[in-house]
Chains A and B, each alone.
Chain A
Amino acid sequence: MGQQIDVNHLNIYYGSFLAVEDVNLHIAANKVTAFIGPSGCGKSTVLRTLDRMHEITPGAHCTGEVLLEGQNLYAPDVDPVAVRRDIGMVFQRPNPFPTMSIRQNVLAGVALNNRKISKSDADDLVEWALRGANLWNEVKDRLDNPGIGLSGGQQQRLCIARAVAVHPQVLLMDEPCSALDPISTLAVEDLIEELKQDYTIVIVTHNMQQAARVADYTAFFNLKAVGQPGHLEYFADTSTMFNNPQNEEAERYVSGRFG
């Protein structure tokens, strides 16, 4: 089952530069929450703080708290590695490991963590994850082929399978369809709809139609000017956001008048 996330007074920095200012947000369990907003508003940056991937960039850090079911991910005794095992991530460009087969890619999270796993368990896990990612039927006969031999859309679903195989509670998706063709995009969107039965999903997207199609809630991020920190401008359930937003900037953005 998915878990909920609460973000309290989150400020995100690159070195001394404040990139995103004072975000307060509730992400409901087993729902899809979309982050939208113009380029540079920090929506991907916020997403990356939710599984502590942000701090990989040298000099990047943040203040405030991110609570997963009430537990602060930034508490001093929390290891970022443990956080990332509970919160999975899918990236903008499909990035299967080039040295690994399809099967090894799915098992990567388990194998790289040195967990011993029997062959039959591994087979089950591969099938379960690939079925979960709607990819099983397309690749079941060539599991030992290299993962990068697949098409872009298949690669992205392979990456989703790889993320769900470590059985996270939350799945973060950073513009997962921006590098895909329309048909693959639909396949991934259908998949997102199914995945929310089991996971809490947060998706960053540039594509407002996509947000409208897949999300239950939508958060609109904005920035006052270039060089100014981004902030959360408006948060609402998706139909309100796109049909009757109670915020002028959001209204201008979703109606396509800027951004």
Chain B
Amino acid sequence: MSTASKPSASPAASSLTQPVNGQKADRVFRGVAYACGILILVTLAAVALFLLFRAWPLIGGDQQANSAVIENFTGGKAKSFWGYVGPLLFGTVLVAALALVLAFFVSIGIALFISHYAPKRLAAVLSYIVDILAAIPSVIYGLWGGLVLVPAIYPFWNWIAEYLGWIPLFAGPAANPPRTVATVALVLAIMILPIITSIARDIFLQTPKLLEEAALGLGATKWEMIKLSVLPFGKSGVISASMLGLGRALGETMAVLMILSPGLKYSFKLLQASQNQTIAANIAAQYPEADGIGVSVLIGTGLVLFVITFLVNLLARRITEKAGK
């Protein structure tokens, strides 16, 4: 039906087909928003591609020069890239896993305390304290760990080495100063504690009241109620929170760099110095002196770290997504 054939059409009605002001801005805005969304995809791809590009000499370059550089880095202990990255990866996973073990139960405890034990007002204060713990920069944890914790904790590690030394993990003698995997793991545990705590707390608070009351109504004690309703409900959330904490610990640089006395072994001796090193700390430590192929080698190790943390994080998010459905 055409407008012209309708004499009754008033001026206002025919304005419908006139262009609206702001139409162009509308399209531009939409385009910009879309571009920013796509940029996320592009950026992640670029991270992988740029790193791969810079690490390429490792694969396609002069292998003899590569092994010369690696020998130089390691004092002759490793010759090939995989021989180099292997112990670093081992150290990274060892330190992160230990930190997770240490932080896990404490975090769950704090989360439960905030969500189910503390009075409401106190809970808010406690949440804030946990957030502060998360806000402190890692370099300050490194400083504190290196200058305060290391001297203070020696007697404790020494005691453990003496009485629990028959367990291979705690084989003595404890290093003094204890710039060891055990001390680093402790500092990393403190750093990932707030991450796990805040996610676990949020999940615990979401436990349906109905479930909790059902348990209490059956005459369960508070702990039994938590075991029956809160923990099963929060299980997947807690797992995913732990994975995120693990991801953070895997990539932490400064605290490790400032505390650990590095080594390049496949060693479980937590209380002895110069046993392991992590990928992230190794990059930061070697970077200033590295050049050319050396940088390529370090970027190659960084790529390995990227892939591993990417997978850990992806897994964590998948778990949350599934639980959310």
Contacts and interface: CB of A to CB of B under 8 A. Distances in A.
A132 B34 CA distance: 42
B74 interface: no
Contacts of A225: none
A3 B18 contact: no
Contacts of B21: 113-114
Q: For this complex, into which size category does the number of interface residues on chain B fall? A: 10 to 19
Interface string A12-54: 0000000000000000000000000000000000000000000
Decide if the interface of chain B is mainly helix, strand, loop or mixed.
Answer: loop
Nearest to B23: A79
Contacts of B3: 70-71
Contact of A69 (B13, B17, B23): B13
Contacts of A78: 16-17
Given A3-B12, A3-B13, A69-B13, A82 B6 contact: no
A83 B16 contact: yes
Contacts, number: 58
Nearest to A115: B21
B8 interface: yes
A72 B16 CA distance: 9
A169 B12 CA distance: 8
Contacts of A69: 6, 8-10, 13
A127 B20 CA distance: 27
Contacts of A67: 1
Contacts of A183: none
Contacts of B19: 79
B22 interface: yes
B13 A113 contact: no
Nearest to A75: B17
B16 A70 contact: no
A83 B13 CA distance: 9
Interface string A58-85: 0000000101111111010111011101
B64 interface: no
B15 interface: yes
B43 interface: no
Contacts of A86: 12-13, 15-16
Contacts of B16: 68, 71, 73, 78-79, 82-83, 86
A71 B20 contact: no
A114 B22 contact: yes
Contacts of A169: 10, 12-13
Given A3-B12, A81-B22, 10 more contacts: A68-B13, A70-B1, A70-B13, A71-B3, A71-B14, A82-B17, A85-B20, A86-B12, A113-B21, A113-B22
Interface of A: 3, 65, 67-73, 75, 77-79, 81-83, 85-86, 113-114, 169
